[in-house]
Amino acid sequence: MHSPELVAAFHVAIHDYSTSIQNALAAADLKKAQHISHKVLGLCQIFDRPDLAELCESLENAKSLSSASIELEKLLARMQ
Encode pLDDT of 56-76 as tens digits: 999 999 999 999 999 999 999
pLDDT at 43 over 90: yes
Cα–Cα distance for residue pair 66/80, rounded to 1 Å? 22
State the virtual CA torsion across 16, 18, 19, 20 in degrees, nearest 10: 90
What's residue 69's pLDDT?
97
* Contact assessment for residue 30 and residue 62, using Cβ atoms and an 8 Å cutoff: yes
pLDDT at 9 over 90: yes
What's residue 11's pLDDT?
93
pTM of the model: 0.91
pLDDT at 14 over 80: yes
